[in-house]
């Protein structure tokens, strides 16, 4: 799967370069210059949609970790998935590892992340469907309708895959079967095997997914995060001098997200996201240079926010490692220093009378 990432990277770069050449770098920089430093406010604003996503995950963890901690992990997960060549799952693996700093039960943490991914897929389909409806309501020309039909058909044709995945997980035994397969492949004595408990993971998944009310609450928290994220598009276009309605911004964000998730083989959706933003923004009357400026602004916000999240992750790992090394050194030094002290105390202590009487007898 990794070869797809490396194959998609030059394709994405070529698309991005082609867009810059086609739209003219000078015009794009002029449009961005009109907004000025106000565009920097889009970076901290992105924390708000992720806060709603973190709340959905917190519900799946039965609130056993603080919202602030899970929000920080959500920023790291997004940064890993969007900025690193990890085929869209590296962020989830990093999230499981970080969440175990507070929630020790590995099976329950893993189950919460898997269920959250399923909820995110459902939210993505709902959000994309909303985008299609909004585009239909806002446009009526033949070219736009053909684009809409293509997007809707792609959504319908891809729907059976996540539905099948949910069915298999709900049926039970999937991860236990994976565990048995891994035992045959690696051998029962492999050091990795004690960390695998597929049967328990299946049970934890079933326990979570059987709570219908919880699933709906997590769904609506995440959907709220997606809709709040569309405000970034609305705000950016207003700053760039071409304001649109909230419905237009929702449609642009919804279909852009769908296209980006579909192009998972291109690292960070490089080039693909920009093409989607430009085409969709033009459907709502945004000029080509402003549309491409919007695409670049969204990309820059993503890079800045993601780099800050990755740096915070590395800083946390360094601090945690140093603390562990310090505790290990103290634990190793404590017995060596404690024994002489105990021996000197024992030597100064008065001997029992019975021992003294025995010495006199001898």
- Per the model's pLDDT, the better-predicted residue between 168 and 25 turns out to be 168
- Tell me the pLDDT band of 5, cut-offs 50, 70 and 90: very low
- Per the model's pLDDT, the better-predicted residue between 131 and 343 turns out to be 131
- Tell me the pLDDT band of 6, cut-offs 50, 70 and 90: very low
Tokens 């053909």 -> residue? 146
H or E stretch covering 290: helix 288-348
In this prediction, residue 326 carries a pLDDT of 87
In this prediction, residue 159 carries a pLDDT of 65
For residue range 108-159, list pLDDT tens digits in order. Answer: 999 999 999 999 989 988 898 888 888 877 776 555 566 666 666 666 666 6
DSSP string covering 40-54:
GGHHHHTHHHHHHHH
**CA distance linking residue 345 with residue 347, whole number of Å:** 5
pLDDT > 70 in the chain, percent = 68
**Radius of gyration over every alpha carbon of the chain, rounded to an integer in angstroms:** 28
**CA distance linking residue 145 with residue 254, whole number of Å:** 17
* Nearest CA-CA partner of 229 in 36, 52, 39: 52
- Tell me the pLDDT band of 293, cut-offs 50, 70 and 90: confident
For residue range 17-73, list pLDDT tens digits in order. Answer: 555 545 555 656 677 777 788 999 999 999 999 999 999 999 999 999 999 999 999
Lowest-pLDDT range, 53-57, 215-219, 313-317, 342-346?
342-346
Across residues 212-240, what is the average pLDDT? 94
pTM summary value: 0.79
Task: Please determine, for residue 85, whether its predicted confidence score (pLDDT) is greater than 80.
Answer: no
DSSP string covering 117-138:
HHHHHHHHHHHHHHHHHHHHHH
DSSP string covering 159-184:
THHHHHHHHHHHH--HHHHHHHHHHH
For residue range 172-190, list pLDDT tens digits in order. Answer: 677 667 666 666 665 666 5
10 Å Cβ neighbour count for 147?
18
Average pLDDT score over the chain: 79
Spell out the domain ranges in the chain. 2-322
- Tell me the pLDDT band of 80, cut-offs 50, 70 and 90: very high
H or E stretch covering 271: none
In this prediction, residue 145 carries a pLDDT of 60
Task: Please determine, for residue 3, whether its predicted confidence score (pLDDT) is greater than 50.
Answer: no
In this structure, are residues 134 and 247 in contact, taking their beta carbons and an 8 Å threshold? yes
Across residues 332-353, what is the average pLDDT? 52
Q: Please, which residues have CB within 8 angstroms of residue 270's CB and are 6 or more apart in sequence?
A: 9, 12, 13, 15, 16
DSSP string covering 6-64:
HHHHHHHHHHHHHHHHHH-HHHHHHHHHHHGGGGGGHHHHTHHHHHHHHHHHHHHTTT-
In this prediction, residue 356 carries a pLDDT of 44
In this prediction, residue 230 carries a pLDDT of 93
In this structure, are residues 224 and 123 in contact, taking their beta carbons and an 8 Å threshold? no
Write the CA distances from 271 to 18, 325, 356, integer angstroms. Answer: 9, 44, 91
């Amino acid at each position: 799967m990794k070869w797809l990432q490396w194959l998609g990277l030059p394709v994405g770069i070529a698309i991005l370069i082609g867009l810059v050449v086609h739209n003219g770098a000078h015009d794009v920089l002029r449009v961005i210059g009109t907004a000025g430093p106000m565009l920097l406010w889009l970076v901290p604003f992105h924390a708000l949609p992720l806060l709603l996503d973190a709340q959905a995950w917190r519900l799946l963890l039965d609130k056993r970790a603080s919202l602030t901690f899970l929000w920080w992990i959500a920023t790291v997960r997004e940064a890993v998935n969007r900025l690193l060549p990890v085929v869209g799952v590296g962020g989830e693996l990093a999230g499981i590892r970080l969440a175990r700093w507070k929630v020790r039960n590995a099976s329950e943490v893993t189950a919460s992340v898997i269920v959250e991914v399923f909820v995110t897929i459902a939210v993505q389909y709902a959000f994309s469907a909303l985008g299609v409806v909004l585009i239909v309501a806002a446009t009526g020309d033949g070219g736009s309708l053909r684009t809409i039909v293509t997007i809707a058909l792609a959504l319908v044709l891809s729907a059976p895959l996540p539905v099948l995945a949910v069915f298999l997980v709900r049926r039970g035994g999937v991860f236990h079967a994976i565990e048995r397969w891994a035992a045959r492949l690696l051998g029962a004595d492999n050091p990795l095997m004690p960390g695998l408990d597929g049967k328990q993971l299946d049970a934890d998944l079933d326990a979570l997914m059987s709570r219908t009310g919880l699933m709906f609450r997590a769904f609506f928290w995440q959907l709220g995060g997606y809709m709040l994220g569309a405000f970034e598009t609305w705000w950016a276009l207003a700053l760039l001098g071409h304001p649109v309605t909230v419905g237009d911004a929702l449609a642009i964000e919804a279909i852009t997200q769908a296209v980006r998730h579909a192009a998972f083989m291109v690292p960070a959706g490089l080039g693909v996201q920009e093409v989607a933003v430009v085409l969709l923004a033009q459907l709502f009357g945004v000029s080509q240079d402003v549309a491409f400026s919007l695409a670049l602004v969204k990309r820059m916000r993503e890079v800045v926010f993601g780099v800050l999240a990755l740096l915070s992750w590395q800083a946390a790992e360094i601090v945690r490692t140093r603390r562990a090394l310090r505790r290990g050194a103290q634990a190793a030094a404590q017995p060596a220093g404690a024994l002489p002290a105990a021996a000197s105390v024992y030597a100064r202590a008065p001997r029992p009378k019975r021992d003294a009487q025995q010495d006199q007898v001898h």
